[in-house]
C-alpha cells in the first residue's frame, strides 16, 4: 500500500450510475471542472459501451465513478485489468468503497491534480465455469463469487477442492468465495472474518450449512478453489452480484487469485479502514428505508 505522492493525472473519464438521475448531472460538473483545470475529460454512463472502448484503448489516466459500492465494483471490473486508478464519489446509500462524498469533490480535486494522493491496491479473483471439460465463461471479481441454490428452497451439494485436494462437501444454501474487499459484504453477513483490504487471502464461507462443515476457511492467495455442483434442481452462481448464471449438475466453478488488482485513489491515511469500520457496522441505510 503506497502512501507516496503519485504522478499528476492529465486524462480523465467520469462515469455515472445510470439509475441515479443526479449522477449524470454531477458527472458533467466534475468533467467541466477538470477541463477548466487543464485535464482532458470525458463523461458518460457507467455501461456506455463506446466509453468502455475508449477506456480499453488507453485514452485515460484515471476514472472517476459517481454512484455507490456497486458502481465501484463495475468500475473495478473495467479498470482492474487496465491498471487504471479509480476515484469513488459517493452518491449511494452506503459507500463502503467510496473515497469522498458528493459535496466534497471540489475540495479534493486540487489535491488529486497535484498528485497528493496514494493508490490502494485490492486483490481480485478470476472465476471460470466448466462443463464436461469445456470452459463456458470467465469473470473478473472484486467482492465475491457465490455458488448457490436457485429458485427452489432446497440446499445444494457443493463439493470443494483446494489445490486439487478434497476439502469437504457442503450441504448448504450457498458457498461464498470472497476477497478481503468482499469480507465486508456477503461473507460478513454470514459470520465470516473481516480482513484488512491490503491482505491477499481468499475466504471460503458457507451459507446456512445443514449438518455439514460450518466454519469459514481463510486460504492463501495462491490457493485454487474448485466447486462442483450436485443438485437435482436449479443451481446458479454469481460474480459480484451480477446476473446469476445457471449451473447444471456436475458443473465446476474454478476460482483463483487474478493477476490483476484494482487501484483505488485515496486521500485519507491508511488507517481509514479501521476508523470507518465501526460507524459503517452500526449504520445500515438499507434497513432504515424500510421501517
Rounded CA-CA distance 154/238 in Å is 18
Between the alpha carbon of residue 8 and those of residues 1, 5, 11, 35, the distances in Å are: 18, 9, 10, 14
**3-state secondary structure (DSSP) of residue 47:** coil
Question: HSE of 207 in the Cβ direction (CA atoms, 13 Å)?
Answer: 18
Note whether 148 and 223 are within 8 A (CB): no
Rounded CA-CA distance 30/272 in Å is 25
Q: Pull the grid cell for residue 108.
A: 479534493
Structural Rg of the chain based on CA atoms: 20
Q: Which positions are catalytic?
A: 69
Q: To which H or E segment does residue 125 belong? A: strand 118-131
Nearest in space to 221 (alpha carbons), one of 253, 174, 180, 262: 180
What is the total residue count of the chain?
A: 291
Amino acid at each position: 500500500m503506497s502512501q507516496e505522492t503519485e504522478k499528476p493525472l492529465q486524462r480523465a473519464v467520469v462515469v455515472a450510475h445510470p439509475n441515479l438521475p443526479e449522477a449524470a448531472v454531477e458527472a458533467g460538473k466534475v468533467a467541466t471542472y477538470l477541463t477548466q483545470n487543464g485535464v482532458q475529460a470525458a463523461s458518460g454512463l457507467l455501461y456506455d459501451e463506446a466509453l468502455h472502448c475508449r477506456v480499453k484503448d488507453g485514452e485515460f489516466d484515471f476514472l472517476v465513478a459517481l454512484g455507490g459500492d456497486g458502481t465501484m465494483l463495475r468500475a473495478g471490473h473495467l479498470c482492474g485489468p487496465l491498471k487504471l486508478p479509480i476515484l469513488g464519489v459517493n452518491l449511494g446509500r452506503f459507500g463502503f468503497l467510496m473515497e469522498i462524498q458528493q459535496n466534497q469533490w471540489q475540495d479534493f480535486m486540487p489535491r488529486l491534480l497535484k498528485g497528493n494522493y496514494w493508490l490502494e491496491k485490492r486483490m481480485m479473483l478470476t472465476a471460470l465455469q466448466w462443463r464436461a471439460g469445456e470452459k463456458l465463461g470467465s469473470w473478473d471479481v472484486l467482492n465475491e463469487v457465490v455458488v448457490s441454490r436457485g429458485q427452489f428452497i432446497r440446499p445444494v451439494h457443493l463439493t470443494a477442492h483446494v489445490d486439487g485436494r478434497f476439502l469437504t462437501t457442503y450441504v448448504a444454501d450457498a458457498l461464498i468465495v470472497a476477497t478481503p474487499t468482499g469480507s465486508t459484504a456477503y461473507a460478513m453477513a454470514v459470520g465470516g472474518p473481516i480482513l484488512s483490504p491490503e491482505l491477499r487471502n481468499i475466504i471460503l464461507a458457507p451459507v446456512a450449512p445443514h449438518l455439514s462443515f460450518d466454519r469459514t476457511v481463510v486460504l492463501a492467495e495462491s490457493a485454487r478453489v474448485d466447486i462442483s455442483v450436485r443438485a437435482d434442481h436449479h443451481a446458479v452462481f454469481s460474480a459480484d452480484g451480477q446476473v446469476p448464471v445457471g449451473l447444471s449438475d456436475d458443473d465446476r466453478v474454478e476460482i483463483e487469485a487474478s493477476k490483476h488488482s484494482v487501484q483505488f485513489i485515496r486521500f485519507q491515511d491508511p488507517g481509514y479502514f479501521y476508523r470507518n469500520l465501526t460507524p459503517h457496522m452500526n449504520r445500515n441505510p438499507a434497513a432504515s428505508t424500510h421501517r
